[in-house]
Structure 1
Amino acid sequence: MQKFDQPTALRSVLSPKYLEFALSDQYDIGQWKECLFWLRGLNDTYRVKTSTGMYILRVYRTEVGEEEVGAELSVLSQLKAILNSSACADVGEHLNKKDNSGYTVLDAPEGKRMAVMFRYINGIENNLQDEESCYAFGQSAAELHKAMDQVVLEQPRYELNTPFLIDQPLERIVAYIGESHEAVPFLHTFTQELKKRITASSDGLEWGLCHGDMHGNNNAFQQENSFTHYDFEWAANGWRAYDLAQVKARKRQSAEQKEALWKALMAGYRSIRRFSPEDEQAVDLFIVARRFWVMGLDAAFIESDMGALDYGDDWLDSFMEEFRETGIV
C-alpha cells in the first residue's frame, strides 16, 4: 500500500547543484556537465548530461521508500532480460552505482527521498492518433504482459484490486472534502455500486502483473515499431483489463476516431496473446475505476504538493458530473 496517509512536509525541488554534489561520484558515467530540472510530476525528473552522454535522474517523493523502489528496479531488471529479443517491446534501464546498488537515499528538507539514474531513451512520444500506431502499441503491450507473466515479485506488494482502486481513494477524498459535504452520500453509493459491478464481472478475467500506469503517451517512447516502456512505479498484480483501460481512456484522441483506434490496438494485442471478450467488455468498467483512483490521487497530494486553489468546487463538480454520466447510479 502506498503511504499516502502519512503526513509529510511540502515537497521541495532539490537543487541540481546539490544533486550533482551528492551523486556525481557515485556513478561511472563520466564528468557531469549539466543537471537540469526537467519535469515535476508525481516524482521529480532531472536531465543529466555528462561527458559520456545523456541520462535521466528520478527523485521520488517521500512516500516512496526503499522497499518500493527496490521492487520497481527488480521488475525492470527482470523485464529487461526477458524482452532482450523482443521486436515489439522494451523497458527503460536503470544504472547501478559504483557500489552496485540501484538507488541513493537523499536527505531532503521534507524527509528521505530515493534517487535512481536511468539511461536516456531515444525515440518519439507517440500520441497514438492513427491505427498503425495503435496496432503497434497493442503488440507492445501484449509483449510486455507476456514478459510480466515470467517476472517474480521478490517481496510482498499491494494489488490493483478494489480496495486499492476504490476504497482507499474514497477515504482520501472524503477526508479532503469533509464527511458532512453534500457530495459524500453520492460518492458512497457510487463506489459501492462500482465495486459490485467489478466483483460481478471479475470471475474469469485475466489477473497478472500489470504496468499500473499504461496510458500510452508519456510512459512509452516509440522506436520504429517498438515501444520502450518506463515509469513502473505502480507495477503490481491486477486485472489486465485495468491496464488496457488506461490506454482506451486517453484524452488525446478525437471522439470520432476512438472506436477505430481501440479496435486497432486490440487487433495488435491479440496478434501476440489472448485477450478474451469478457476482458474487453470489462475495460469500460475499469476506465471508471481508474478515473476514481485518479481523483483519489489528486486528494493525496493537495496538501503537500499541489495546493488547494485548483482543487475546490470546480474540481469536485467536474468529477461528480463525470461519475453521474456513467449511469452507474
Structure 2
Amino acid sequence: MLFTAAPGRVPEPFPLGNAAQSIHFGRSLAMFHTAADTFGSVHERPPLDLKYLLDRSLALLQPFLNHRLEDWKYLLSLVTEIRMRFADPISSHLDWGPIHGDAFSANATLAGDRVTWFDFDLCGPGWRVFDLAGAYGSAMGQERTDEERQQVWLSFLEGYREKRQVTDETLAIIPTMHILLMVYFMAINLEKGPLYGFQ
C-alpha cells in the first residue's frame, strides 16, 4: 500500500532522539491513547493480553530452543516471573484500550514538535503500559551514558504526563512489561523468518 509521506524524520539515536525530542513523543503518544479511548471499529484485532503476548510467543519460540535447553529454561523462568507480576490484583487496574503495539521501532517521525505515527500492523486492544514500555526500552537501549538515557526516558514520561495520567502501578510494572515486550518481539521476528531468513 502507498501512503502520504510522514513529514519530518525519525530522530537519532532512533527512535526517541534526545531529551528535547523525546518529550514530543510522550505528549503525542498520550494524545493518541486519549483519542483511542473513543475509537470503535467493526474489524476485530486479537487482544494483546498474556495469552497472545506470552503463550503464543512461547509456542513460536520453543522449536528454535529445543537444542538450547538452558536458554529455554531461562526463558521459562522469566515468563514465570512475568505471570506472577500480572497475577497481582494491582495489574487488573492497568489502563486498557487500543494501542499502537510497535510504537518505538522507528514508526514515528518528528517535524518540529509534530509527531506522525504509522505502521499499525501490530495494533490492537491492550495495556497502554505496553506502548510506554516500548519507549522505556528504546530510551534505555540508546548508546548514551546512563544519565543521558534517564534524561531521554524522564523527558518522554514528562510529555506523556502533561496529557494523560500515569499511575504508580503503571510505572512499577514498566520494567516487567519491557521484558514481556522483548519476548513478544523475539517471536514476531521469528515469524518473519520465511521472508528474511533465520540466520
State the TM bucket, normalised to the shorter chain. Answer: 0.7 to 0.9
Counterparts of 1:119 and 1:175, CA distance in 2: 40
Q: Does the 8 Å CA contact 2:7/2:116 hold for their aligned counterparts?
A: no
Please tell me the residue identity of whatever aligns with 2:132: L
Q: Report the equivalent of 2:153.
A: 262
Q: Report the equivalent of 1:287.
A: 178
* SS of equivalent residue, structure 1 residue 264: helix
What RMSD over aligned residues (CA atoms) do the two structures have, in Å? 1.9
- Determine if the alignment matches structure 1 residue 248 to structure 2 residue 139: no
* SS of equivalent residue, structure 2 residue 17: coil
Counterparts of 2:187 and 2:78, CA distance in 1: 14
Q: What per-residue deviation string (whole Å, max 9, x for no partner) do you get for residues 199-250 of structure 1? A: 32412111111010011x6111112111000001111111111111101101
Q: What per-residue deviation string (whole Å, max 9, x for no partner) do you get for residues 293-325 of structure 1? A: 1111232233x123233xxxxxxxxxxxxxxxx
Q: Report the equivalent of 1:195.
A: 83
Q: Does the 8 Å CA contact 1:129/1:253 hold for their aligned counterparts?
A: no
Q: Report the equivalent of 2:54.
A: 166
The percentage of aligned residue pairs carrying the same residue is: 24
Unaligned runs of 5+ in 2: none
* SS of equivalent residue, structure 1 residue 257: helix
Unaligned runs of 5+ in 1: 1-115, 310-329
Please tell me the residue identity of whatever aligns with 2:114: S
| Bigger share in helix | 2
Of 84, 97, 110, the match for 1:208: 97
- Determine if the alignment matches structure 1 residue 224 to structure 2 residue 115: no
Counterparts of 2:87 and 2:67, CA distance in 1: 26
Counterparts of 2:176 and 2:78, CA distance in 1: 13
- Determine if the alignment matches structure 1 residue 298 to structure 2 residue 183: no
Residues 89-238 of structure 1 correspond to what in structure 2 (within 5 A)? 116-127=1-12, 128-178=16-66, 181-200=69-88, 201-215=90-104, 218-238=106-126
Please tell me the residue identity of whatever aligns with 1:229: W
Q: What per-residue deviation string (whole Å, max 9, x for no partner) do you get for residues 269-311 of structure 1? A: 1111111121111111111001111111232233x123233xx
Counterparts of 2:198 and 2:152, CA distance in 1: 36
Larger Rg: 1
Moved more, 176-185 or 205-214: 176-185
| Bigger share in strand | 1
- 1:147 and 1:253, CA in 2 relative to 1: closer, same or farther beyond 3 A? farther
Offset of 1:253 from its aligned partner?
A: 4.8
Q: What per-residue deviation string (whole Å, max 9, x for no partner) do you get for residues 158-199 of structure 1? A: 011111111111111112232883433333333122112123
* SS of equivalent residue, structure 2 residue 115: strand
Please tell me the residue identity of whatever aligns with 1:213: D
Please tell me the residue identity of whatever aligns with 1:118: F
Please tell me the residue identity of whatever aligns with 2:153: W
Q: How many residue pairs get matched? A: 192
Offset of 1:144 from its aligned partner?
A: 0.8
Counterparts of 2:76 and 2:23, CA distance in 1: 38
Counterparts of 2:108 and 2:179, CA distance in 1: 23
TM (norm. structure 2) is 0.88
